[in-house]
A and B are shown apart, each in its own frame.
Chain A
Amino acid sequence: MNSPRTLVQKIWDTHRITSAQGADLLFVDRHLLHEGSHHAFDKIAASGRTIRHPELTFGVADHYAPSRPERATDATVTMIDRLARNTTQHGVTSFGLGDSRRGIVHVAMPEQGLTLPGTIIVCGDSHTATHGAFGAFAFGIGASEVAHVLATQALWQTPPRMMRINVNGQLPTAVTAKDLALHIIGQIGTGGATGHAVEYGGDAISALSMEGRMTLCNMTIEMGARSGIVPPDEVTFAWIAGRPMAPSGRDWTAAVDYWRSLRSDPGATYDHVLDIEAEQVAPMVTWGTSPEHVAPITGSVPHGQQDALDYMGLRAGMPIAQIKVQRAFIGSCTNGRWSDLLAAAAVLKGRHVRVPLLVSPGSEAIAAHAEVTGIADVFRTAGAEWGSSGCSLCVGMNGDQVAPGEHCASTSNRNFRGRQGPGARTHLMSPAMVAAAAVMGHIADVRDLTLADMTEHLAMQEARS
């Protein structure tokens, strides 16, 4: 009799090629590359090896893609050229600048239908956990492992411990997947899920859109987890259907039949189980230099983390909603998707920003969609800068940076020291909260602001589709 297994264990077993010395060699369905893959290509070149499955390997220019052409530097040009040269040389499809399929790797690849339930997906980027939203087992790897996958299409792994996070009930109005992720990180800490594969469940998870699930799985790495996963359901299948590289016709029917079987068995065991009541989650804001330095918008800066407070220029006891910001950013693989832009636009419509707000859509497809629905114009009219798609101000390596000492309200995923530029002070929050901070000039509770009726824009969307 087979003992009950979790979803991740099932995917694991399906992909096991062989075992040795306590580790399993797993087959990789999709290997995603970006400009940072240059070390791995150098390793391949140095050893005279070839890429085993170029047709399962996809590249995209995102980390160094400038948000405006004039922000390109020698470094960004060199890195993007290097990716193009390496992928062309090895026959790998890659979405470079000017390609309408391009975007941030964790936004663009799902859009193309490359992210499928039950697959193993790896990428030399920690936020690869994002793809778990589709019921894939997806995780970030380093350059040596990238080289290993290029050469073998496989990876040695030791089984992770299992963690189940149940989110029961319903998230309150104006509380998003980002707030939920930050709430969980606040509870368990940035090392709280180290060594674990996290599986999400509960009513609040089933109710999330695919975009919300991607945001949540994306932030799971900030709990220290190897991966996050949401079992696939009808929401998942509907989102994938018709995507360019997704199965179609008879393949589609066979695939969906299989995908419906992808769930954890009753009685499957977890090393840790965490229960969260969705009603108790509020809009969350980080005040320090780690995602675990987080509080509800109604809270205050706590005592006891003096190093972080010195860096942030904050004093303990001050209300979160009094922190002034000098910059704002909407974008990233965490919150650069269509529904994120829509939520922020509902705050900005009819208002004007008091501090510079940079918007970088998660992909060219989202950017184009924002144009035809009039959302891009809502941002421009509100005084925001509408930039090109890329990692932009999340990662501080493509020409976009926050000046030293400036506080930036940001939809990105890491408030580490210097992440957005040397001396930059990052406050993580949801897209609507960033929009609220941008129009108020300080961190503010979006629930205190009236939201614009976006029906007109949604109608434009329907008229087009």
Chain B
Amino acid sequence: MKPFVTETGPGVALPMDNIDTDQLIPARFMKRSRTEGYGQQLLFDLRHDADGSKRPDMALNYLSARPVLLIAGANFGCGSSREAAVYALVDHGIRCVVAKSFADIFRNNALRNGLLTVTCGDADHQALTAFLSENPGGTVAADLRAQTISWGQEQGFPFDIDDNIRRRLLLGMDELSETLEYNSEIEEFEQRYRHAYPWMAPHSSGSIGPSR
């Protein structure tokens, strides 16, 4: 996973609450394999009219360079657990999303793909949204080491982040290889657990339902 330390580049505002993962990546695109990429499909139905033409009022459609930061309203990423919503953002080049709040599953998925999610209060949110609404594509810096978002002439705000999430993002750690180092703990647990709750395993002594 690509580490996140600092990212500086164009930002874009999408000042809407409840941007759900069906918006971020419509279901019909989800059969794509990861290698095909999801960047073109990001927010597809919000960015396009019914006839497929690009909506001129969507900043994401006319920026000269792809944004690295997106700011949206509350409850970003709600709905379906599809990780493809994160793939679409990341493949589009976005590395940091700022919002008033995030849905739990989306935030988990983001972390595992090196996408920084920053939660901020109303005043900071308003200031950055105003800057990017007046200057679509304006340069913004997200610094995970300093825990700051900044833009323009010394404008910006600090943000809080869970220490563990910060560490993982900074190092670009692969969670799975890390967990496999706990193999002996997992094995010991399983033995103990099977002994205490022998009936927890699925009952399958020939009585699994009929298969045509």
Measured CA separation A214–B22 after assembly (Å): 23
Q: Decide if A116 is an interface residue (CB 8 Å cutoff).
A: yes
- Assess A126 versus B105: contact at CB under 8 Å? Given A98-B212, A99-B212, A154-B179: yes
Q: Please, which residue of chain B has its CB at the minimum distance from the CB of A113?
A: B203
Q: Decide if A156 is an interface residue (CB 8 Å cutoff).
A: yes
Name the segment of A137-145, A323-331, A352-360, A442-450 touching the other chain.
Answer: A137-145
Q: Decide if B64 is an interface residue (CB 8 Å cutoff).
A: no
Q: Are B83 and A39 in contact (CB under 8 A)?
A: yes
Q: Decide if B164 is an interface residue (CB 8 Å cutoff).
A: yes
How many whole Å from A222's CB to the nearest CB in chain B? 8
Measured CA separation A75–B29 after assembly (Å): 10
How many whole Å from A367's CB to the nearest CB in chain B? 13
Q: Decide if A47 is an interface residue (CB 8 Å cutoff).
A: yes
Q: Are B86 and A156 in contact (CB under 8 A)?
A: no
Q: Are A416 and B22 in contact (CB under 8 A)?
A: yes
Q: Are B82 and A252 in contact (CB under 8 A)?
A: no
Give how many A residues have a beta carbon under 8 Å from the other chain's beta carbons.
81
Measured CA separation A246–B18 after assembly (Å): 39
**Chain A 54-68 near chain B by CB (<8 Å), digits 1 or 0:** 011010000000000
Measured CA separation A190–B103 after assembly (Å): 9
Name the segment of B121-129, B138-146, B150-158, B185-193 touching the other chain.
Answer: B185-193
Q: Is the interface of A mostly helix, strand, loop or mixed?
A: loop
- Assess A142 versus B45: contact at CB under 8 Å? Given A113-B203, A418-B26: no
Q: Are A251 and B176 in contact (CB under 8 A)?
A: no
Chain A, range 215-271, C-beta contacts under 8 Å to B: 224, 226, 244-248, 251-252, 254-255, 258
Q: Decide if A317 is an interface residue (CB 8 Å cutoff).
A: no
Q: Are B33 and A38 in contact (CB under 8 A)?
A: yes
A sample of 11 cross-chain residue pairs with beta-carbon separation below 8 angstroms, ordered by A number, consists of A22-B162, A27-B189, A116-B200, A142-B86, A144-B175, A158-B162, A189-B75, A396-B28, A416-B23, A416-B79, A419-B22
Could you tell me which B residues sit within 8 Å of A by CB distance? 16, 18, 20, 22-23, 26-28, 30-31, 33-34, 45-46, 50, 74-75, 78-84, 86, 101-105, 108-109, 112-113, 162-164, 167, 175-176, 179-180, 182, 185-186, 189-190, 193, 197-204, 207-212
